[in-house]
Structures are given as C-alpha cells and as structure tokens.
Structure 1
C-alpha cells in the first residue's frame, strides 16, 4: 500500500495546476489520467483579461493574469519549457461605435491596463475600422503544456494512466486500490456527472467546436485575431479558428452547423482561400454565475471537488488551485463566490 497526501482524478487545467501547487509544497500525490483528450487539452489556450463582446473585465482579472505568469515561470523551472506565447489579441472592430466604446472603456480604472488606446491596422485580414489590442493578453502552448507536465509526472512516478473506478474507493479507510490517501480531489470536468460523490454539482455542459485550417497566406506568429472567434497560428503550419458555444446540441458527434458557422465567420474577415484540415469539439463545464465550484464533500471530509472552470480554464484553474490548496492545508476559508456551499 502506497501512502500519498493526495489522489487527483482528472488531467485538465484544474488537475495539473493543483498538481503544481502540490509540487511546490512537497506533497506526495498521484494523478489518474484516463488518457482521453479533455476539453482543456483541445482548448484555444487564450489568456485574456477582457470580455471582448462588451469590452468589460471580470472578477480578479489582474490578479489572475499576474499569478498565471508567476506560475508558468515555476513550471518552467522543472519542465525546462516556457509555455507562454506572447501573442496579444487584436479585436477587429465592427464599426466606429465599437471604436468609440473601446476608447471610452479604456479610461475606466479596471480596464485602462488592458485596452490599448492606440488602434492598429492589420494588412492580412479585413479590418476596415482597425483593431484594438488587449494588453497583457497572451496564449498558452496547450499541446506543449499538457505533454510537458504529464511527461514530468509520468517520469516521476506521479501519473497513473487508467480510468478511475469509483467502486474501488473505501471511504472509511481512505484507500483506493493500492493507495492510502489523506485527501482525494476530483477535477473531472463534465465527467463529474458520473461521480457518485459530486454528481449533483451545478455544472452545465457547453459544447465548443474549433477548426484547424490551412491558410493560403499565413498570419504572423506573434498575433491572435478576434472577431466572432479567435484565429492564430499553430506550430504545425495550421491555424486554429474557434470556438463555438452550444448548450443545446450535446451529442458526442461533430455538428455540421457549428462547422459551417466557423467557416462563415472566418471567411468574413480572412479574404484569401483556406482549407479545413481538422475539426475538434469538447464540452466545457460551465456554471450559471460564471465562477468555478470548489469545496469539500458534506459527509466525506477529505473528498474535494474543483470544477466549473468554463471558458477561462487556464486563469481559473491556475489561480484557484492555490485558493483550494490553502483551504485544504491551511484552513483558509474559500471565498463565497466560488464555494460549493453557495448553491445550498
């Protein structure tokens, strides 16, 4: 029987950023990874402090950006890889009114560090009303991040590549198969609906598609363009465009209507030919109040959940991993805005 401080079930942003906190604090743990591509692993990797539909920001945006950059430097210290891509978002304006609204909002205290007052014109796409640059925005090298961290965990005996079987948990002895654990943390995204301990948490699936396209004229490497969706270059010569949001069509197949929506959206501002090479989709776990769900089981006091990261998985996963660690290890109360208890 192997004694560990933690079992982590899941392998998305919540799981890996929490594993990072455990590494920083010399805690023993194992991560159970089923090996399927999670919503996190096919995500765009956009790091963005601004809601680009309305030009607003969100709770703790600056704190989250700062903490992510610090955390990625810490991750680099043991994976020897820098996963942060300095590629600011350029939001294409639809008309003059959007330009004026952007400038007006850029004077607000909570937005002045994010909305650049100087507009840019991009030559490779249609942007008749120019673009606004989001300062402090960037991207994560998603493939590199997951490959690098999962490899590191595997090489250090902290990764178990198998589907977690709830029926083999002994809640009285705190054991699972050959492991005796102090705490167990479930970071399963929409997989939580099969979890007998936390299946009732209020996460709502939101299906997102993206396409990977070959552009006849490639974008510069250091730019991310946003109109309806995000467009940016990938390492393999393809470009990412997406993703959609759908709470209705929740079957596990590609939706042709979503692909059509993406092709139409891209052709509206990319004037040259492109070819769709790949289509991907996943299910984001979203919450009505747009904040993650963290907390302890009401009966099994060493069972925890970390879920509901939504479309801001990187920022939410990174920042609140520390919040959850401090709650478990140091008895620092969870903010009510993210606590599982807010739904009682």
Structure 2
C-alpha cells in the first residue's frame, strides 16, 4: 500500500495548478487522468482581466494576474519553460460609441490599469474604428503547459492514465486501489456530474467550439485580436479562432451552426480568403454566479471539490488552488464567494 497525501482526480487547469501547490509544498500525490483532452486542454488560454463585451472587470482580477505570473515562474523552475506568451488583446471597436465608452471606463479606478487610452489601427484586418489594447493581457501556451506538466508528473510517478473508479474508494479506511490517502480532490470539470460524492453541485455545461484556420495573408504575430471571438497565431501557419458559448446544443459532436457562426465572425474583420483546417469543442463547467466551487464534502471530511472555473479557467484555477490548499492544510476559511457551502445556505433559506 502506497501512502500519499493527496489523490487528484482530473487533468485540467484546476488539477494541475493544485498539483503545483502540492509540488511546491513537498506533498506526495497521484493524479488520475483519463487521457482524453479536457475543455482546459483545448482552450484558448486567454489571460484577460476585462469582460470585453461590457468593458468591465471582475472580482480579484489584479490579484489573480499577479499570482499567475508568480506561479508560472515557480513552475518554470521544474519544467525549464515559462508558458506565458506576451500577446496583448486588441479589441476591435464596432463604432464610435464603443470608443467613447472604453475611454470613459479607462479613467475609472477599477479599469485604469487594464484599458489603454491610446487606440491602434491594425493592418490587414477591418478595424475602421481602431482597436483598444487590454493592458496586462496575455496568453498561455496551452499545448506546452499540459504536455510538459503531465510528462513531468509521469516521470515522477505521479500520474496514472486511468479513469477513476468511485466504487473502489474505501472511505472508512481512506484507501483506493493500493493507495492510502489523506485527501482526495476532485477536479473533473463536467465529469463531476457522474461523481456520487459531488454530483449535486450546480455546474452548468457551456459548450464551446473553436476553429483552426489558415489565412491567405498573415496578421501581426505579437497580438491577439478580439471582436466577437479571439484570433491569434499557433504553430504550423495555423491560427486559433474562437470560442463560442452555447448552453443549449449539448450533444457530443460538432455543431455546424457554431462553425458557421465562427466562420462569419472571422469574415467580418478578416476579409481575405481563409480555410478551416480543424474544429474542436469542449464543455466548460460554469456556475450561475460566475464563481468557482471549492469545498469539502459534508459527510466525508477528506473529500474535496475544485470545479466551476468557467471561461476564466487559467486565472481561477491558479489563484484558487492556493485558497483550497490553505483551507485543507492551514484551516483557513474559504471566502464565502467560492465556498461550496454557499449553495447549502441557499437551500436552508428556502
């Protein structure tokens, strides 16, 4: 029987950022990965402190940005790579009213550190009203991040490529298939709906598609363009364009209407020829109040959940991994905004 401090179930942002907290604090752990590409692993990897539809920001945005940079510097010490790509977002304005709203918001205390007051015109794309740059925005090298970290954990005998079997958990003796564990942390995304311990948490699937395209005329390499969706360069002369948000069409295959939506969205500002080379989709776990779900099982005190990261998986996963670690190891209370208990209190009020 192998003793471990933690079993982590899942292999997305929540799982790997929590694994980083354990690595940093010299805790022993095993990650169970099904080996299928999660929503995290096909995500755009956008690091963005601004809601670009309304030009607003969100809870703890600056703190999350700062903590991400610290964490990626720490991860670099053992992977020898830093996965943050400096590729600021340039939001294409639809009209003069959007320009004026952006300027007005850029003067506010909440947004002055995020909205650049100087507008830019980008060559080779249609941006008649120019673009606004989001300061401190960037991208994560998603492919490199997951490939390298999963390989690192595999080399260190911390990764098991196997579907986790809930029926084999012996709660009373804290064992699972040859492992004696102190805690299990479930970081399963939408897979949590099959988890008998946490299947009732209110995560809502949000289906997202993106396309990978070849452009007949390249665009600037060092920026991320945003109008309806995000466009930025990948390797092999491909570009990422996406992603969509759909809470209705939740079948497990490509939705042609989503592909058409992306094709039309790209055509609005890239008015040259392009070809769609690949189509991807995944299911983001979202929560009605747009906050992650972090907490301990009410009956089994060594079972935990870390879920509901939504479209801001990188920032939420990184920042709240430490919050969860501190909750478990140092008995520091979880903020009510993200605590699993907030839903129980809602039920009690009813």
User: 1:319 maps to which residue?
Assistant: 319
The aligned residue for residue 91 of structure 1 is 91
Q: Is the 8 A contact 2:72 2:84 kept in 1?
A: yes
Residues in 1 aligned to 2:53 and 2:150: alpha-carbon distance in whole angstroms: 34
Q: Does 1:168 align with 2:176?
A: no
Q: Matched residues in 2 for 1:103 and 1:209: separation?
A: 32
* Cα distance per residue 1:213-232 (max 9 Å; x no partner): 00011222211000000000
The secondary structure found in structure 2 opposite 1:210 is: strand
The residue aligned with 1:299 is 299
Match of 1:281 in 2: 281
Partner of residue 38, structure 1? 38
Contact kept in structure 1, 2:234 and 2:240, CA below 8 Å? yes
Describe the superposition over 1:139-187 as per-residue Cα deviations: whole angstroms up to 9, x where unpaired.
0000000001000000011000100000000000000001000000000
Give runs of aligned pairs for residues 60-209 of structure 1, distance below 5 A.
60-209=60-209
- C-alpha distance in 2 between matches for 1:311 and 1:244: 11
Please report how far the alpha carbon of residue 67 of structure 1 lies from its aligned counterpart in structure 2 after TM superposition. 0.2
CA contact (8 A) 2:208 2:245 kept: yes
CA offsets, 1:115-159, max 9 Å, x none? 000000001100000000000000000000000100000001100
SS in 2 for 1:261: helix
Q: Tell me, in whole angstroms, the C-alpha distance in 1 between the residues paired with 2:199 and 2:154.
A: 29
> 1:271 Cα deviation (Å)?
1.3
Contact 2:7–2:185 at 8 Å: present in 1 too?
A: yes
User: Alpha carbon RMSD of aligned pairs, Å?
Assistant: 0.4
Contact map agreement 2:122 2:130 (CA 8 A) in 1: yes
- For residue 157 of structure 1, give the secondary structure of its aligned residue in structure 2: coil
Could you tell me which runs of 5 or more consecutive residues in structure 2 were left unpaired when the two chains were aligned: 345-350
TM-score (norm 2): 0.98
Deviations 1:18-45 (A, max 9, x none): 0000000000000000000000000000
Match in the other structure for 1:15: 15
Query: Contact 2:295–2:341 (CA<8 Å) still a contact in 1?
Result: yes
Q: Residue in 2 aligned with 1:259?
A: 259
Aligned to 1:3: 3
Cα pair 2:43 2:142 within 8 Å, conserved: yes
**Separation of aligned partners in 2, 1:193 and 1:118:** 46
Partner SS state of residue 58, structure 1: coil
Contact preservation (8 Å) 2:123, 2:219: no
Cα distance in 1 between the residues matched to 2:82 and 2:60? 24
For the residue of structure 2 that corresponds to 1:68, the secondary structure is helix
CA offset at residue 82 of structure 1? Answer: 1.3
Q: Distance in 1 between matches of 2:196 and 2:152?
A: 30
Q: Which moved more, 1:235-244 or 1:293-302?
A: 235-244
Q: TM-score, structure 1 length as denominator?
A: 1.00
Tell me what 1:342 maps to: 342
- Deviation for aligned residue 1:236: 2.3
Deviant stretches of 4+, over 6 Å: none
Structure 2 CA distance, aligned partners of 1:107 and 1:136?
16
Number of residue pairs matched by the alignment: 344
